[in-house]
Copies of this chain bind each other. A is one copy, B any other.
Amino acid sequence: MNSDQLVVKMIMDRWYAQVKNFDDALNTFSDEQLEREISPGKNRGIYLLGHLVAVHDDMLPLLEFGDKIFPEINATFKSPDKSVAAIPAASELRTYWKKMNEVLTQKFNSMQPGDWFKKHTSVSAEDFAKEPHRNKLNIILTRTTHLSYHLGQFILLK
């Protein structure tokens, strides 16, 4: 295993571990439980689920994997919870979450280790030359901490 492979493995392992932890929690919660707030007056479980689908969907264009697959829910779950009256049902969001993970996993598997160190689409070639840490692998890293942050909240529905 060369050094690029090693580092990609370390970071992807973290991503998949957080996805699995979220998945495990999601599978133990009923749709009714997902409707509850994580703490009085705070976000609902269903909102966090939709928010994660939306943020992960953004990774597709960012990593040059193509267009978002759920563009119709993106704005809803970037807006604060309860600011949009009609949101998809919990059962529907479960399907989106599953599909999102399948698509991302398939795309991730198509990458060679070196590809991860190339620039993502929201940094210019000029800036990237000066800031090579703004690569595709860094997107996984920042989305992993984002996912952990919300996982810590989501688990409170227990």
Contacts and interface: CB of A to CB of B under 8 A. Distances in A.
Interface of A: 1, 3-4, 6-7, 9-11, 13-14, 17-18, 38-40, 42, 117, 132-133, 135, 137-138, 141-142, 144-146, 148-153, 156
Q: Which 9 A-B pairs have the closest CB atoms?
A: A39-B39, A149-B152, A152-B152, A148-B148, A145-B148, A148-B149, A152-B153, A7-B7, A39-B156
Nearest to A13: B133
Q: Is the interface of A mostly helix, strand, loop or mixed?
A: helix
Contact of A141 (B10, B42, B146, B152): B10
A135 B3 CA distance: 12
Given A39-B42, A145-B145, A152-B153, 15 more contacts: A1-B132, A3-B117, A6-B133, A10-B135, A10-B138, A38-B156, A39-B156, A42-B156, A144-B145, A146-B148, A148-B148, A148-B149, A149-B152, A150-B152, A153-B156
